[in-house]
Amino acid sequence: MTTPNNAAPASLARLNSKNLSAVKPGVVLPAYDRGKTTIGVVHFGPGAFHRGHQACYFDSLLAHDPRWAICGAELLPVGFAARAVPQDHLYVVAELDAQIRFRVVGSHREYLTAVGDGDRLFDRLMMPETRLVTMTVTEKGYCLDGTGKLDHKHPGIAHDLANPATPVSLVGWVTEALARRRAARQVPFVVMSCDNMVSNGRKLRGAVLSFAEACGKRDLVSWIENEVRFPTTMVDSITPAADDALMQKVADAVGLRDEAPVQRESFLQWVVEDVLGEDAPDLARVGISLTHDVAAYEFAKLRLLNGAHSTLAYAGLLLGYESVGAAMGDARLVGIVERMMREDIVPTLPPTPGLEFSSYIDDLLKRFRNPALTHRLYQIASDGSQKLPYRILGSMADALAAGRSVERFAVGIGAWMRFVAREAKAGREFQDPLSPKLVEIGKACTGKAKDDLPRFLALKDVFTAEMAGNPRFREAVGTVYEQFDAILRPKN
């Protein structure tokens, strides 16, 4: 998350519990007594998306059930505590759309870091009131290999297997906390991934079981298999990183200085597999969809929205655009992305009751053009090696298997390769878990597909051997890689 500078006037009073009475009219405030709430949720990775998405749902739920306040848990210190704690964990969500709304969210009650607060975090995870553990740590935070299984050679996993009582990885923390609850004869908490990852619940469950098995804890493995629920979920809301402009906008609208604001579009969606069991929060009451078929929703979202976003990001950055909205002003790029969604991605999706794909795509294009929201392409472009297998390459594999066109899919993949080469040669850092390897590849690139594609396709964490060896795939991506300007640059 981008850390904004102090753009709002320092003389302006700081947002906190005592100053809520000074909030300007029209700002939505928590509709409950925060002092009467109890923490029932521990969330790993309380960044902007979580605070603008899941935390808002729980903020609404607390007005009806006070048992679901949140403890934010960070695996790595990011300095957020210095901004959150002085504000009593209150912050403003700016919903930026045709109708602009400002909302003070109060569902967070505590913030702990695994580094420095480890014992307190374990104590919180052990409390009987803690019945739900959620996370938004991005795809890379699960330490999975290219097949979606736990990577036992990952440095964090290797550390935790040798030192299970002092974990550093998400999987290590979840497994050890479950082991301690089992030893104390407590009921387990529900473990709920909220990351954009296909079958996130099943993959997390597999990773935790694999970790417990590697620790030699067969009894724990059996207990987790029989007792612990890992619902699959799908989440959706465009949430750009905060910046100075947002802080000033919030200060003007709210009348208080907020050093931890969040901005997002008004659209909000959360789909949860209906396996939560007894004594679960009444998620449906606050607009969360409970279903036994999350896969249909997540495929539609990951492939249509996220696939389009990644294509816009890499192609848009190469064309000189900085935001989604600016990229959506390029008719040729929009034409490619829209046809990719309608003609290439939709045939890969299963029929989804309640979801009409043509209307969904219409809505996505409208959301992308939202003039009130500046969604930076560099933010979307981060962690490409982890995102592309889910967002584009899965759809591309299905199209290849069915004998359909893959030329428009190749735009995002070829543009990513060119982006990596451009950034590496310019000496600019880009966020990606494979960054050292990508920089090495990028610096060696010649601009010729015959030289450069083999370097990228050797990345087994990104490309399967079957795809890397497919001549149609190589030809389509190679064409985009070498002829990007001819394909995308506006014609005179």
CATH label of the domain that carries residue 481: 1.10.1040.10
- Domain CATH for 70: 3.40.50.720
The tokens for 85 are 């704690």
Tell me, yes or no, whether 288 and 312 share the same domain: no
What per-residue confidence (pLDDT) applies to 351?
A: 86
pLDDT confidence bin for 4, thresholds 50/70/90:
low
- Does residue 3 fall inside a structural domain? no
- Does residue 9 fall inside a structural domain? no
Q: What is the pLDDT of residues 16-44, one digit of tens each?
A: 999 999 999 999 999 999 999 999 999 99
Q: What is the pLDDT of residues 45-70, one digit of tens each?
A: 999 999 999 999 999 999 999 999 99
- Does residue 36 fall inside a structural domain? yes
- Does residue 152 fall inside a structural domain? yes
pLDDT confidence bin for 490, thresholds 50/70/90:
low
195-205: average pLDDT: 93
pLDDT surpasses 50 at 204: yes
- Does residue 2 fall inside a structural domain? no
pLDDT surpasses 80 at 2: no
- Does residue 177 fall inside a structural domain? yes
287-306: average pLDDT: 90
Tell me, yes or no, whether 381 and 265 share the same domain: no
**Nearest-CA neighbor of 130 among 195, 38, 47?**
38
233-249: average pLDDT: 93
More confident residue, 77 or 433: 433
Q: What whole-number distance in Å separates Cα of residue 269 and Cα of residue 57?
A: 10
What per-residue confidence (pLDDT) applies to 355?
A: 84
Percent share of the chain, pLDDT over 90: 85
First-to-last alpha carbon distance for the chain, in angstroms, is: 40
pLDDT confidence bin for 3, thresholds 50/70/90:
very low
Tell me, yes or no, whether 119 and 170 share the same domain: yes
More confident residue, 1 or 458: 458
Residue 454 Cα distances to 399, 458, 474, angstroms? 22, 6, 9
- Does residue 191 fall inside a structural domain? yes
Final residue of a structural domain among 229, 257, 292: 292
pLDDT surpasses 90 at 241: no
- Is residue 180 a contact partner of residue 122, using CB atoms and an 8 Å limit? yes
What per-residue confidence (pLDDT) applies to 1?
A: 40
pLDDT surpasses 90 at 167: yes
pLDDT surpasses 50 at 385: yes
- Is residue 375 a contact partner of residue 321, using CB atoms and an 8 Å limit? no
More confident residue, 433 or 354: 433
Mean pLDDT across the chain: 94
Domain housing 276:
17-292
Q: What whole-number distance in Å separates Cα of residue 412 and Cα of residue 337?
A: 9
Q: Which range has the worst mean pLDDT, 189-203, 241-255, 294-308?
A: 294-308
Final residue of a structural domain among 267, 292, 317: 292
Tell me, yes or no, whether 264 and 311 share the same domain: no
What per-residue confidence (pLDDT) applies to 9?
A: 64
The tokens for 22 are 């000074």
**Nearest-CA neighbor of 71 among 29, 134, 2?**
134
What per-residue confidence (pLDDT) applies to 5?
A: 55
Tell me, yes or no, whether 242 and 321 share the same domain: no
Tell me, yes or no, whether 121 and 261 share the same domain: yes
Confirm whether pTM is higher than 0.85: no
Tell me, yes or no, whether 212 and 337 share the same domain: no
A 10 A CB-CB count for 454 gives 12
Tell me, yes or no, whether 368 and 236 share the same domain: no
Tell me, yes or no, whether 110 and 41 share the same domain: yes
Total structural domains within the chain: 2
**Nearest-CA neighbor of 267 among 435, 95, 421, 413?**
95
What per-residue confidence (pLDDT) applies to 491?
A: 56
Tell me, yes or no, whether 318 and 183 share the same domain: no
Tell me, yes or no, whether 413 and 336 share the same domain: yes
pLDDT surpasses 90 at 217: yes
- Does residue 484 fall inside a structural domain? yes
Q: What is the pLDDT of residues 332-369, one digit of tens each?
A: 999 999 999 999 999 999 888 778 999 999 999 999 99
Final residue of a structural domain among 240, 262, 292: 292
Tell me, yes or no, whether 262 and 337 share the same domain: no
Amino acid at 45: G
